[in-house]
Every structure is written in C-alpha cells, then in structure tokens.
Structure 1
C-alpha cells in the first residue's frame, strides 16, 4: 500500500502537469521504483503533492456523463411521519419481562440431562438466527459448557428413520447447531470415521427428506392423499430452508435481514417456543424504532448539508446508508469521480483533498466546493469528538484515509477499474472512521497498524466491491465469458472469506470485538446489496422490499 500511494502521488502530479502516464501494472508492482515515474521539476522529493497546480481552463459547457440514477424511494416527509408504537414503555416493559423468563429457562437447561440435548441444541441454534443471542451471551456459554462433545456426536449421528419420533425439522436444526458449536469448541475431525471420511449418518436424513419430497407429488384426489399432502407441506418447508441456505451461506448473510426472514420460518415450526417467538418479534420492533430515530437524525443532517440539492447528479441514498457501510459522503465523492466531473476538475479536487485545508477549495468549481466543505467539516467534527472522549488526535488518520480514496479514484478515472483492483476503495476510509467511533480505548498498536492497511480492513474491503462491475471488468480484461467471470469472482469471494474468518478469530487481535464485528458485518451487507445486481444505485424491488421490512414495517404482535 505504501508503494501504491507513493506512485499515485507521482501519477497525480504527472496528470496535472499533462505529462505521459505510466502503465497500470507499474503502480501495483512491488518492483516499481519511484524514479521510473519521476518528472523534472517536481520540487517535493517524491513525498507528496506540495506544489500548487496550475489553474486549468474549463469549458463553459463541458461534456458530462450521467449515472441516470432514480430519485430516492423515501423522502424527508415520509421518514418524519413514521410512527412506531414499539418505542413505548408498554412494549419495552414486556420485552424486559420476557428476557428475564428466557434467562431462567436457559439456566435450567444447564442442569438438563442428555435426553434434553434436543432442546438445548434447538434453542442454541434459534437464539442467534432470531437475532436475540446478544442478550444471553453468558447463559449461552454456560449451556455450551454443559454439553460434552462426545454426547453431541453420539446423539446426533445415531441411526434414525423417517418414521421415528425425531422430527426432521429438529434434526436439521441440530445439524446447524453442531456446526455452530464446532466454531467455538470442536473440530470437524470429530465428525469423520476411521477412514477419514465424514460419517455417512450425516446424509441419511437428507436422503429420506428428498424421498419424502418426491413422494409428496404423487397425491391424488382420493382421501388417501391427505398424508402425502401433509408431507408436501412439511417437505416444502424444509426445501425452503435448504434453498435459502444454498442461495447464500448463513455466515455471509446480513444478520438483520436473516432475522426478519427466520422469524417467519420459526413461527411455523411445530412446538415453537411462544415466549421466545414473542421476545424475538418485540426485540426486532424495538430495534427498528431505534433505527427510525437514527434515520430522522441522519436525514436532518443530509437536508442541512444541501448536498442532494447542489449535486443532483449524485445518488440520493440516505436510507440505504443505514443498511450498509457505504456512507452518504463516500457516495457523493464516488459519483463526482465516477459520473460527473471532468478530468481537469478531478485533478483540482484531488489536489485540494491532498492539502485538506479550507483555502484549498478556492480553486474548485462551485459544485465541488460544497462537497469539499461538507467533507472537511464532517471529518473535523469526528476528530473533535474523538479528541474530547479519547484524548487522541484522529485527524491525521482520518485525512489519510480520505486522501487514499481520492487518489485511487483519480487513478481509476484515468486507467479504469481492474477486475482484481485490490479493494473497494471507499471501504478502508469508512472502516477507519468507524474504528475511532466504536473503539475505546484505542491503543498505540492499533494506531500504528493504520499506517498500512490492516488485515481485517483489507479483507473486508475486498468483499465490499461492486460484484457486477467486477464481473464486467474481468470479462473485458481476460476476454472470458460471463459464466467464467462469475465463477472466478465467486471463487475470489470464497477465498477472501477464509481470510476474514482467520483474521476475525485471532485471539491476539489488536482490534476490539466490536470493530471486528463492524468489519465482518460490512462484508455481509455487501452481499445483500450486490447479490442480485446494484442494489445501491438502481434500487431494485428486492432491495426496496428488504429496506421496507427492516426499517419501516413492524412485525405484528399480539400482546397478552
């Protein structure tokens, strides 16, 4: 990263002075020397852009590109008209009562026998999927400690048939629970036979389930079809679970999205725990009410900034910024570089960001001035709050991340986006800002790690990329088919998730669990946004419906 940034500094100065530009590969190569990119009369020793750029002539009617972005789906009036009764004392009190009952139930399970293992594993699986495990971290650990590995293996892999009293729904949940337990306690090797193969008992229920599913379609109009029709309803429910899992692994899903989906599934399960179901629904709605208040505050800031009014070419996506890590300022900057500005204007803007001082905006076009000033004010305000609360001057780290974003954006404008272009360029800036807002205390080692792009930031930023654009760039660079491009990008994503997991699970990590959670969840959110196209820019119906359910539509509850 240090080599890249040094070379980018040279690149920008050469672009400003209209000298010939180097090839793409020279900027990313470790063997690249700064002298190979040097120009005469830089006057700064290659350390940065210190020379004042010449004033550039601007055409009165420059040719502008357009992203053809649609207006926002939700406006200021809609957000401020929202009414959520679940923010009231009645529901908060009821939620607190249910939480106490659930804690008691969990502690009773600690003393449970092997015969109650089904109930333990089912509950341990349901708590995180329903989104309420954060309330019971200590109790969950006690339940897990009460279960021996050999008990789980023996109980789960024992022979069973479709006609047994074991409900296949619970069997499926137990398998999910086992792998949840493995991640914290056990090894996959415990589930292999003497020959090193996975125990065949793991597949028996799957085969039976498929047979049941196929047989359920043989029903006729006779009365004897009742059983088969019931089997069809049952099997289809399991198929929905399987299809949902195969579409995207649970570990890569956005937790709030998964939570809303799974609540609907859970309430259809036989012998559902009514207390847990009511608690999950209430907790979801109460958190949703908090998000709605966050949206009101965010929208007031957005309206006050006038960015949407003064920069109408940019995506107005304030609600979407609450869904995932891409912030309003990052979106505006991206659209300036990627959609609207001319090369001459971008050279000026990049130089101004490199200086990061108020007077640097004097040479900018009017529409860039308001963006630059909003960026400057937002950064200094964050640095001010960090200094007050933590006693740390965050300004050098925040501005460096912004300079990297600006420099890489200019590079991409000139050369285009390589399919394996290191990382999504806005993500490191946003994660660095997040680090200072969620970490207390911040150690010197953490600050030193920001000198280079740390692993957790690098791998998360690699996932947070525009997948459709990456596929297109791969096809252009490699000349392959769309199918080959998709396979390659999916392979890269899978391999990067391995790196994220290894980094996130380190016992000696410099970063807090809260920040690591932010980085991992940001990668998950990008899957939600780009899984079916560009959900941030185009706002397809799937994303709209997902946002509506998460932020605006409470789950119906009947309070006793």
Structure 2
C-alpha cells in the first residue's frame, strides 16, 4: 500500500508520516516512512532545501530527530529575535506552529534553544485557550498536558482516533487510514486481552497471593508496564514473561519494606547472592516460597532464551536479582538504624532499587537483539540509559504524592533528604527542584536514545517507554487514587474504537 506519492512535497510527506504516528499505525509502514524521511533529509542537507515556516521547520526537526537523523535545533534560530534573543512574538498567534514547536521542544538533548522553545510555546498556548473555539482549546490543552514524546503513544493514538473520528464524521469524510487505525487498534487490544488472561492464570496458579498474603496482589498493574514498554504486537511473549519478572520486583519490595526483619532480610539477600537452592534452609518459610518461585520463573526465562537465541543468561539474571536485593537491604539498614544517607548517596542506591535494571536486563534477553559478549558485559554495568530511567522513576515516586494504597512501609524520599540538607527550602521549592532534575535527566535520556549505541535501538526505546509510563503510574491524587492510570486501563484494554 503506497501512501506517499513521489510527487508529494516534503511538507505533504511529513504530514502523512506524522499522521501515521499519531494514529499508531506507523509500524505498518516502516520501510516507506524510512525511505521518505531519508529523501527529505538528503534534500535538506545536500540540496539546502528551504524548510519553511514554523510548523514545517519544527515538524521536520521532530521527525528527523525521532528517527535518528543528525539534526540541530539551531535551524530554529530564524524564528529568534536578534535583539532580545527570544522567539519572535509574531509567532505567538500561530497556534499550529506553536503546537508543533511545543512538541519539538520535548526532544531536547540539553539544548538551550529548545528550553526557550518550550517556555515560549507553552506560555502562549496556555494564553490561547481562553479565546480559541472549544474544540481547538481542548486539543491545545491535551497537547500541553500530554506532549507526544513524553506520552504513552498507544494511549495517544487512542485519543487521536476518537477525536479524529468525530471531526471526520461531521465532515462526512471516509478516511482509509482512520479505518485502518481503528481496525489495528481493536486487533491489538484483543491480543493484549489474551495476554492479560494468560498473566492472570499464571498468577493464580502460583498461589503466591495466598501464600504471601502481605504482598500486593496487582497482576493487572504489573502487566501494564510491559504493555507500555514493548507495545508492538509481535512482542507478545516478551510482555507475558516480563510481567512475571516484574511481579517479583513488587513481591520482594514488599518483603523488604513491610514484612521482613532486618536479620531475615540479610539472610534472604545472602541466599539470592549465592543463587543456590541449598542456601535457603536457614530462611523462614515465606522467604523460601518466594525464593523457589523466583528461581523457577528465572530458569523458565533462561530456557526461553536458550531455545530462541542459543544464549544462557542465568549468570546475568541471577546477578540482577542480587543487585536489587543488595539495594533493598541497604535501604533497610539505613532506615532501621536511623542513619539516613545524604540525598546523592540515597539516589544512587534508589536507582537500582527502582527495579528498572531488572526490567531492561530481562527484556534484553527476551528480545534477543544485540546478544553479544560485549553487550552482556556492558549491560551488567547498568548503562546510563537504564540508570537515567531508574532515576526518573524513583524521583517521581519520591515526590510525596506517590504512595501506593496497599503499601504501608517507608523506604525514604529524595525530596525529604533534599529538604533536610537545605532547611531554608520550602516544600514547593524542593518539589520544583526535583521536577528540574527529572527534566534534565529526560534530556540526557533523549540524547542517548537519539544517538548511536551498541545496544539495539528497540531496547533503548523500551527504556524511554518505561520512563513515559512513570508519570501515569505515580500521579496519585490526595486520596491515593490514580485517575490517569484508570483511564489508561479502560482506554487500552476495555474500550474498542
């Protein structure tokens, strides 16, 4: 199915590519999108083709950077006032251009011009809401609250399909792409329902909800992580198996945080480090149950990797669980003794205890891409694209409102430690400081995502997807309710289009 005509202008072609992404069907046109963008980029670099107005310039920049092309935001300098050094006020009424500028600003690798772009576009877009028609004001607000790059893209596609359908229905327009998007969304939704059913069956058969009654019983919530991290339909096996590993992050976290004594936790950590069933004799029964179940599921993942890719990951996987438990134990020791660490020492450890390392390492083997001795050695060292995602998760979790309704323990807070070290700082100032760190960490994560790396791009993108899910999973209201997460669940799993 050829969508982009050779006679189409660069702008027309980019608009179609953007539409395919917004509709969530770009994975069906990978080759055509790749060849078209390559041609557009070559015209810009070699033929010095004029990129155009604010909308076209920012769309070009965003699409090229998203797809790994080396493009500098300095191309936006033509929209900067030479005297003030700020964006021209003449652009402040160009809503279409401002929306595109705002979207592009989130693909920041640490460039100051994109920080200015975000500040300028967000200010004028918020101001525009009061005079725009209701339909357009709603679109602006949705973009401001959920920019594409920072959002779960299947969720964004669900919203786009619904809104687009209303517009087309009013105009009597029959959009082939829209129908394809709806069909694809519903097809994938059925696949995800089958996967969730398998996960629920697995969890029930383990008996862990009964044997370890103090741990969180949230298989749906655990499945939502893989659903976001690896959304493409062909990765069904990865989602199911990864959910099982994620379940044990939560289980072990609850053992450390709300149930085990410090002596028991030390023995459990020693046993995990040895990774030998004979070492569990000294453990209390509830820990034996957890250890045996973890040992079993880990070996099942090992068998899958051996069968699919001819690689035995047992050493790396067992080390990853030891690393997690060592971090949990460090937190338990700190807060049992009252000897609270400084904020930086706490965060270094908390990046590991976030569980992100476990998720990406397991996914690395389940996906099977880039399985080389060098990459295995590197991933064991917790590369920065993993640790930055871990930092984003933990900092969001520590903002204070992120308190799981079924968890009663306390394992520290970066924000509280920051305020302890800066007693003159108000809670709002501390909150703003944490949000700034998250923003800067995102910029670094972006840079790694868009640059060349020895790790396969799908793995790095999975880490980006995990970071996108964090704000959904941890945006608690005062009553510990998660409205964003609830809407996410119903939109993606229970409401067809």
TM-score interval, smaller chain: 0.7 to 0.9
Query: SS at 1:105's partner residue?
Result: coil
Q: Deviations over 1:220-256 (max 9, x none)?
A: xxxxxxxxxxxx5xx2222222222322432121122
Distance 1:314 1:213, change over 3 A: closer
Q: 1:466, 1:530 within 8 Å by CA — same for their partners in 2?
A: no
1:189 to 74, 92, 95: 74
Aligned length: 411
Q: Is residue 205 from structure 1 mapped to residue 125 from structure 2 by the alignment?
A: no
> Within 1, Cα distance between the matches of 2:318 and 2:125?
56
**d(CA) in 2 for partners of 1:542 and 1:505?**
28
| Structure with more of its chain in helix, by fraction | 2
Q: Structure 2: which 5+ residue stretches go unaligned?
A: 99-123, 227-242, 401-412
Q: Deviations over 1:465-495 (max 9, x none)?
A: 2624245542354243321122111111111
Q: Deviations over 1:104-125 (max 9, x none)?
A: 222x2x32247xx3x4333222
Partner in structure 1 of residue 105 of structure 2 = none
Which whole-Å deviations, capped at 9, do the CAs of 1:428-484 have from their partners, x for residues lacking one? Answer: 112111111112351111012134111221112222226242455423542433211
Q: Distance in 1 between matches of 2:125 and 2:323?
A: 53
In structure 2, how many angstroms separate the alpha carbons of the residues matched to 1:240 and 1:176?
Answer: 22
- Please give the alpha-carbon distance, in whole angstroms, between the structure 2 residues aligned to 1:127 and 1:315: 39
Contact kept? 2:268, 2:287, Cα under 8 Å: yes
**1:236 corresponds to which residue?**
134
1:144 paired residue number: 37
* One of 435, 438, 460 as aligned partner of 1:493: 438
Q: After superposition, give the CA deviation of every residue in 1:381-418 in whole Å (9 maximum; x if it has no partner).
A: 21222223323221111111100100110111121486
CA distance in 2, matches of 1:458, 1:376: 25
Contact persistence 1:424–1:464 (CA under 8 A): no
- Counterpart contact for 2:399–2:434, Cα < 8 Å: yes
User: Is 1:460–1:500's contact at 8 Å kept on the other side of the alignment?
Assistant: yes
1:183-228 alpha-carbon deviations (Å, 9 max, x no partner): 236422222238375455533414998898655xxxxxxxxxxxxx
Structure 1 residue 175: deviation in Å? 6.8
1:299 aligns with 2:200: yes
Is the CA contact (8 Å cut-off) linking 2:37 and 2:64 kept in structure 1?
A: no
Q: Distance in 2 between matches of 1:143 and 1:269?
A: 28
Could you tell me which residue of structure 1 aligns to residue 326 of structure 2? 407
Q: Counterparts of 1:374-523 in structure 2 under 5 Å?
A: 374-416=293-335, 419-420=343-344, 421-422=347-348, 423-425=351-353, 426-465=355-394, 467-471=396-400, 472-479=413-420, 480-507=425-452, 509-523=453-467
Kindly state the Cα deviation for residue 315 of structure 1 after the two structures are TM-superposed.
1.1
| Contact 2:57–2:76 (CA under 8 A) maintained in structure 1 | no
- Paired residue secondary structure (1:192): helix
Cα 1:477–1:181 change in 2 (3 A) is: closer
For the 8 Å contact 1:345–1:364, the answer to whether it is kept is: yes
Distance 1:395 1:146 in 2: 44
Which of structures 1 and 2 has the bigger CA Rg?
1
1:518 to partner: Cα distance:
1.4
Alignment of 1:30-179 (within 5 A): 103-106=1-4, 108=5, 110-113=6-9, 117=11, 119-147=12-40, 148-149=43-44, 153-154=51-52, 156-157=53-54, 177-179=59-61
SS in 1 for 2:279: helix
Alpha carbons 1:257, 1:550 under 8 Å: kept: yes
Cα distance change of structure 1 residues 273 and 128 upon mapping to structure 2, 3 Å threshold: farther
Q: 1:459–1:500: 8 Å Cα contact kept in structure 2? A: yes
Contact 2:126 2:141 in 1 (8 A): no
Deviations 1:94-113 (CA, angstroms, capped at 9, x unpaired): xxxxxxxxx3222x2x3224
Higher relative contact order (CA 8 A, sep 6+): 1
TM-score (norm 2): 0.75
Equivalent-residue separation in structure 1 for 2:144 and 2:302 (angstroms): 43
Alignment RMSD? 2.8
Q: Does the CA contact (< 8 Å) of 1:111 and 1:146 recur in 2?
A: no
Cα separation, partners in 2 of 1:284 and 1:374, compared to 1, 3 Å: same
Change (3 A) 1:437 1:377: same
TM-score (norm 1): 0.67
Tell me how far apart the structure 2 counterparts of residues 282 and 330 of structure 1 sit (CA, whole Å).
35
